[in-house]
Each structure stands twice: as structure tokens, then as C-alpha cells.
């Protein structure tokens, strides 16, 4: 038996995943971010929430926004739940489980981030899910993996950042370790999870069968160790926090100006030559002729660059760096980022109509799509994160059509 995907959407559909149905049981950030990524691309995402309060992040704040009707909305929840529908089901009850089972018979994807074993105890083991819908792709996100000696640990972003080594290489120095300023372990797990789901859906086109995709906060952070990982596994060196300067490229980092700060990235010997020529420096000075020399003598290089940059105001320096072709940039506040015309030109700010807040602006999806002729086909119409149970009125209709597996 072959389980087909939905019929191909018409050319004017809203996104490349239009017609795909995702049942989202996740809460907090990793799972909701993964589901939102698919929703941004046009999938129908049905967010199933507990009727008693819904997703935990609905209560995370301040900040909250409180419209005149007495309700309040968490800006945290708003960050990860655009382009979704919200229905409420109590999965501890027989009725709730029956309703979920019927939804899954018509779904393409199920997403969950319960602790390992919880979904099984609710009656939805992998074998049960296969019985309901052999073509179902399930994304399961955990904190530290679904097996192994610490599989049962709860997954929280900052704990994972520490346990997975990210904090040890982040901060001003080895004695000032810092977390990343956003829940990066959650976000990466969601991104890897969405990537895995799309791979499994692609394989389903060939096999007709679904499968379980597993991601974790631990795996996601280890997956982006990049050169810090091979620095240990190959060279046997343990990376440490080095503040705002790159540990393997010099000069590459943050420097003060006469009235602010700039960042530069001198990522090649050609750029180093250009940088020195532009500022009247000797590119072949002892300890500075090659990048390995400059990394070994980081303090000497930084002091030299700093002595030059303090002679310039920020705007003048950025203009000079641009003139000589050295990559550079300022440090923007988030307010400045969202007011920046370049940000807006990339579709990174969208306006939606929220049920209680009215028109609001949200950070937008990061992907854009174009045809071979250069015409943009990026989805432009988006829906606001739903209030709890906003689409319960659609549930009866969906359940009525969900009696059999699609063939």
C-alpha cells in the first residue's frame, strides 16, 4: 500500500508546503519553532493545546500586551506561533485521545516534545501511530536524546547550552562564561527538526512510508560546534571563551572608536594587505605577516588596530573601511534592526491581524523564493499567532472528514 501526499497545490498557493497538514503537540520553543517554520512555508499547522491554559509560553512574561478586553498576550508566545491554528484537547481523556487519533489519520506530520516515553503512555507509541497512518512523519524533540544514560532529563535551553559546551566558548573569557542572548539550543533543535521532517517527507515520496525523526537540544548544539569541535577531536585542544574576538582569525572582532564601536573581519591575507595599506600600517611587521602569526600575537595586533581606530568617529571609520574594501559593521540595538530599511527590504517584518491585539508587526520568515526569471514567489499573507482554542469551531469538521487514511 502506498500512502500518497496531498494533491499538488495550485500555482498561486501560499507557500511551497501548501496542502501539507501538521499536527503540533509541542509547547515552549523548540517544537513550536519547528512547526512555525513549516507553517511559514504554507503547511496547515494545527496546534493542539491543553484547554487549561494552553502552551506554557502563553504565561511567560512580562512583557505582556493587554488589550482593552481584559485579556493579555505574551510576546514570548507570539514569537513562535504565527501561521497556526489552535484547538484544545485534553489528551488525558478518552475523548481527547480519540479526537487526536482521528486528526492523525489525515495528517502528514506530527510534532511532539514531551519527555521520552510520555507519548507512549498517552497511547500514541510509534507502532500505534503507524497503525493510524503509515505515511505519518513524526518529529520528536527531547532535551538530551531519546536513549542513552540521561535520556529522561528535562530539556531547558540554558541548561543545554551549558551541558553541550556552548557556554564554555561564549563570554569575555574563560572565567566569564555566558549564555547566548536568545534560546539558541531550542531554536537550533527546532531548525534541525524541521529539516529532518522535510527529508523524511521527501523519502516518503519514494517509499510511501513515514518514519520518526528525533532531534534534541544536546544534538543541535553539538551539531554547530564547527571549528570548536574539531579543535578538540582532531587537535586535542579545548576551546575557551575569547570575548568579541575570533580565536582563529586576526584581526576579527569588536574595537572601540572615538565615539562608539565597530566590528571588522579581516578574513584573508589579501584583506590584511588592504587593511594595512588603507591605514598606513606595515603588513609584514614582525609577528603580523601571516594569520597564524597574528593569532599567536593577538594582543599585539588588537592594540595596534585599537590605537588606529580611536582616532576615528564610528561613521567616519565605517566609511573608510568600506572605501578600502574591508568588511565591517556597527552594533545595532534590536530597535535599530527593525527600523533598518535593509531588514524591511528582506521581508523580515510582517503585519498580521491578531484576534485581541488588532494589527501587530512580527519578525518575518527568513526564507524567500524566486522563479527562474527572478520573479519573487515568497508567501506574503500570514496569520497571527492564535488565541487559545481559536479554531475549535473547525475541529468538528476536521474530525468528520478524518475517518480513513488518505490513499
Q: Kindly name the residue from 186, 259, 355, 371 that is annotated as catalytic.
A: 186
By the 8 A CB rule, do 125 and 119 touch?
yes
DSSP letters, 136-154, are: -EEEEEESS-SSSTTTT--
Residue appearing with cell numbers 519547528:
34
Q: How far apart are CA 363 and CA 340, in angstroms?
A: 13
Strands 252-256, 261-265: pairing kind = antiparallel
CA pseudo-torsion sign 93, 22, 143, 172 = negative
Q: How far apart are CA 91 and CA 100, in angstroms?
A: 8
Angle between helices 392-400 and 94-104 (to 10 degrees): 60
Chain CA centroid to CA 136, Å? 23
User: Grid coordinates representing 247?
Assistant: 580565536
DSSP letters, 243-273, are: TTB-SSSSSEEEEE-SSSEEEEE--SHHHHH
| DSSP-assigned letter for residue 168 | G
Q: Which residues touch 246 (CB under 8 Å, ≥6 apart)?
A: 252, 253
Q: How far apart are CA 183 and CA 148, in angstroms?
A: 24
By the 8 A CB rule, do 145 and 216 touch?
yes
For residue 31, give the nearest of 128, 100, 109, 102 by alpha carbon.
109
By the 8 A CB rule, do 249 and 267 touch?
yes
By the 8 A CB rule, do 261 and 309 touch?
no
Chain CA centroid to CA 170, Å? 19
Q: Is 327 helix (H, G, I), strand (E, B) or coil?
A: coil
282 is catalytic: no
For residue 122, give the nearest of 100, 140, 106 by alpha carbon.
100
By the 8 A CB rule, do 358 and 351 touch?
no
- Catalytic residue positions? 186
Amino acid at each position: 500500500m502506498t500512502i500518497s501526499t496531498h494533491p499538488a497545490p495550485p500555482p498561486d498557493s501560499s507557500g511551497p508546503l501548501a496542502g501539507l497538514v501538521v499536527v503540533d503537540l509541542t509547547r515552549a520553543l523548540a517544537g513550536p519553532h519547528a512547526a512555525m517554520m513549516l507553517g511559514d512555508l504554507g503547511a496547515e499547522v494545527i496546534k493542539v493545546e491543553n484547554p487549561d491554559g494552553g502552551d506554557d509560553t502563553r504565561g511567560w512574561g512580562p512583557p505582556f500586551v493587554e488589550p482593552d478586553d481584559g485579556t493579555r498576550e505574551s510576546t514570548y508566545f507570539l514569537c513562535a506561533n504565527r501561521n497556526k491554528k489552535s484547538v484544545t484537547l485534553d489528551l488525558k481523556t478518552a475523548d481527547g485521545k480519540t479526537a487526536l487519533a482521528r486528526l492523525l489519520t489525515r495528517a502528514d506530520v506530527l510534532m511532539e516534545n514531551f519527555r521520552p516515553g510520555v507519548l507512549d503512555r498517552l497511547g500514541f507509541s510509534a507502532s500505534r501511530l503507524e497503525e493510524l497512518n503509515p505515511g505519518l512523519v513524526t518529529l520528536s524533540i527531547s532535551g538530551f536524546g531519546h536513549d542513552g544514560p540521561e535520556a529522561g532529563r528535562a530539556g531547558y535551553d540554558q541548561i543545554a547550552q551549558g551541558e553541550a559546551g556552548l557556554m564554555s566558548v561564549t563570554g569575555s573569557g574563560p572565567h566569564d562564561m555566558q549564555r547566548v542572548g536568545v534560546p539558541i539550543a531550542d531554536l537550533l533543535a527546532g531548525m534541525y527538526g524541521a529539516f529532518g521532517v522535510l527529508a523524511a517527507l521527501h523519502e516518503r515520496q519514494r517509499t510511501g512510508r513515514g518514519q520518526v525523526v528525533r532531534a534534541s537540544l544536546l544534538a543541535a548544539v553539538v551539531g554547530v560546534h564547527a571549528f570548536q569541535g574539531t579543535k578538540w577531536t582532531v587537535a586535542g585542544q579545548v576551546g575557551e571563551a575569547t570575548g568579541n574576538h575570533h580565536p582563529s582569525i586576526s584581526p576579527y572582532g569588536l574595537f572601540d572608536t572615538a565615539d562608539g564601536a565597530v566590528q571588522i573581519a579581516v578574513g584573508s591575507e589579501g584583506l590584511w594587505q588592504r587593511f594595512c595599506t588603507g591605514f598606513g600600517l606595515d603588513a609584514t611587521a614582525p609577528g603580523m605577516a601571516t594569520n597564524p602569526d597574528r593569532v599567536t600575537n593577538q594582543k599585539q595586533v588588537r592594540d595596534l588596530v585599537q590605537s588606529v581606530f580611536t582616532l576615528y568617529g564610528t561613521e567616519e571609520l565605517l566609511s573608510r573601511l568600506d572605501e578600502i574594501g574591508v568588511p565591517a559593521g556597527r552594533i545595532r540595538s534590536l530597535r535599530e534592526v527593525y527600523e533598518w530599511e535593509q531588514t524591511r527590504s528582506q521581508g523580515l517584518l510582517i503585519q498580521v491581524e491578531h484576534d485581541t491585539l488588532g494589527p501587530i508587526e512580527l519578525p518575518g520568515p527568513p526564507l524567500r523564493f524566486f522563479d527562474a526569471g527572478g520573479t519573487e514567489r515568497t508567501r506574503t499573507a500570514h496569520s497571527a499567532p492564535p488565541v487559545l482554542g481559536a479554531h475549535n469551531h473547525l475541529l468538528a469538521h476536521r474530525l468528520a472528514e478524518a475517518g480513513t487514511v488518505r490513499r
